[in-house]
Amino acid sequence: MKKNVWSAVIEAGFIIFLFYSHLLMGQFERAGVGQKRGLVGAIRDFFTAANFEIATIAALSAYILFEFLRKRFSANMAFSFRAGGTAIVHPQ
């Protein structure tokens, strides 16, 4: 059970990181706030409660979806690896 919780925290945290890095990149495009106020102004602009709520909901939704898909497809597939590192999928 602990492993599942830590897996969920790590995967959701990574998705939140990607969300915020995408927002930060958007702040520095063309007429974004980052162009005018700099890095600190851009960070202040997008670390809001609304953005955190959106990121958390998206991360948890993605985690649930990927766990469902992972369980569904891993039950029907078996993998074996060759010496060169290529995977061979054997449908069961």
Number of domain units in the chain: 1
- In angstroms, the CA 81 to CA 89 distance is 9
Residue 15's nearest CA partner among 52, 40, 45, 48 is: 52
Higher pLDDT, 2 or 86: 2
**Model pTM score:** 0.65
**pLDDT at 25 (0 to 100):** 83
In SS3 terms, 68-87 reads as HHHHHHHCCEEEEECCCCCE
Confidence label for 79 from pLDDT (cuts 50, 70 and 90): low
Residue 49 has pLDDT above 60, yes or no: yes
Please give the residue range of the domain that contains residue 57: 2-91
Residue 19 has pLDDT above 70, yes or no: yes
- Using DSSP's 3-state secondary structure scheme, residue 32 falls into coil
Residue 17's nearest CA partner among 52, 68, 61, 69 is: 52
Q: Please, what is the end-to-end C-alpha distance for the chain in angstroms? A: 28
